[in-house]
Amino acid sequence: MFFNVGFTHHREILRKTSTLAERLFYIEKCATEFWQVPKLKYALNDGLFEKEKIQLTTFPKVIADKRLRRKALESFKSNYLFDFVDWDDDDVIDEKLLEAEIVRNIKNFIMAFGQDFAFMGNQYRITVDGDDLFVDLLFYHRSLRCLVAVELKSGKFKGAYAGQLNTYLSALDDLVRRPDENPSIGLILCKEKSDKIVEYAFRNTTTPMGVSTYTFTSKLPQQYSEALPHPDDLVKLLKD
């Protein structure tokens, strides 16, 4: 990946970043999304690394270890692009069908999530006092050394989702987690959210969890489009 990025890209990244995680983020973006230098410069000036990191979490107040907390914040994004799912952003979403599509395309899902995630199963069953709880998607994160429970929601975030996920995480910690592993982390994936509702839902929560959104299309924001050369200009360059 490192050698697939041009010298000018590396120079810009080194000049405008301060941490290894930030540098690797931009290098990966350039290598996998074929960024040209103008787009990279815009992303660097706009602070895309910080914007893409997950913002709405309980991590700062419930993860005591600073290194683990920082790594957890860097392991999840504010928004995920699921362009491998055959849906338009305006379509009505069926949660079960969405889950089935993700499981069918689990390799692409993990690529969107990050390579440290190992898939453990969907509708993962935990039995508590004779009652069955089902986690939509369960992963193990190798760097964080913890279980990661993902709950898929088809619409807008609701406060009740935090209580549901809190129950799942507590059960995972008591019944599934191994003694040498860190406490389980939960992620609620929804189509949209109100930051204030999330804040209220998380206020008294003591388990590590966060909220992210997802989209199905990869339309570039206008500012990115303006930073890229027009397709006609690219054709002209190729002919020259």
Angle at 143 between CA 140 and CA 146, to 5 degrees: 40
The whole-number pLDDT of residue 141 equals 96
Q: Are 204 and 61 in contact, with CB atoms under 8 Å apart?
A: no
Q: Would you say residue 228 has pLDDT above 60?
A: no
Q: Environment class of residue 96 by beta-carbon count within 10 Å: exposed (0-12), middle (13-18) or buried (19+)? A: exposed
User: Could you tell me the residue ranges of all domains in the chain?
Assistant: 1-52, 56-217
Could you please state the CATH topology (level 3) that the domain comprising 56-217 is classified under.
Trna Endonuclease; Chain: A, domain 1 (3.40.1350)
Q: Would you say residue 156 has pLDDT above 50?
A: yes
The whole-number pLDDT of residue 2 equals 63
Encoded tokens for 98: 């969405």
The whole-number pLDDT of residue 230 equals 46
pTM of the model: 0.73
133 DSSP β-pair partners: 126
| Range scoring the smallest mean pLDDT among 38-47, 63-72, 177-186, 217-226 | 217-226
Q: What is the pLDDT of residues 59-118, one digit of tens each?
A: 999 999 999 998 999 889 898 888 788 776 666 678 888 888 888 888 888 877 877 899
Q: What is the pLDDT of residues 125-148, one digit of tens each?
A: 999 999 999 999 999 999 999 999
